[in-house]
Amino acid sequence: MPLVRIDIKRNPDASHLPRIGQVVYAAMKSTINVPDHDNFQVLTEHDSDRLVNDPQYLGIQRSDGQVFIQITLSEGRTVEQKKALYLAIAEGLNQQAGVRLEDVFINLVEVRKENWSFGHGIAQYAL
């Protein structure tokens, strides 16, 4: 049930952003038990002056290749699962999309299950 938003600066390789999305989905499946077919993503490229990052916050040396990932998901994952997710995404993006580990920015937004409607105007997970 996650909704993933991925934002990057424009990349001349048209396969770059979809590849990032594939890596994120695979990492969610392997670390936080996201099932098959539960893949909802908004993939956006921006002009270079539309994404801002501090190149040294927390002593991490970031580049213009910054990838912003925001995942809205139902609450309930453990801290260990979240840490495993962050690592799987960062390592996967590094290995499969050439993204530097320093350039992977991830934010999780946890919501209650009744805050989702997947169609038909129904809260499918409301108890």
Residue 96 lies in a domain: yes
Tally of domains in the chain: 1
| 3-state secondary structure (DSSP) of residue 45 | strand
pLDDT digits (tens, 9 = 90+) for 57-81: 999 999 999 999 999 999 999 999 9
Boundaries of domain holding 85? 3-115
- Provide the CATH number for the domain around residue 47: 3.30.429.10
Among all chains, which residue has been given the structure tokens 């994404």? Answer: 51
The pTM of this model reads: 0.94
Q: What is the DSSP string of 78-120?
A: -HHHHHHHHHHHHHHHHHHH---GGGEEEEEEEE-GGG---ST
DSSP element (H, E) containing 41? strand 40-46
Is residue 126 very low, low, confident or very high in pLDDT (cuts 50, 70, 90)?
confident
Summarize pLDDT for 85-114 with one digit per residue, the tens: 999 999 999 999 999 999 999 999 999 999
Structural domain includes residue 124 = no
- Half-sphere exposure (CA, 13 Å, Cβ side) for 46? 16
Q: Which of 87, 76, 77, 107 is nearest to 23 (CA)?
A: 87
* Per-residue buried b or exposed e for 40-68, using 16+ beta carbons within 10 Å of the residue's own CB: ebeeeeeeeeebeeeeeeeeeebeeebbb
Residue 17 lies in a domain: yes
Separation between Cα atoms, residue 88 and residue 123, nearest integer Å: 30
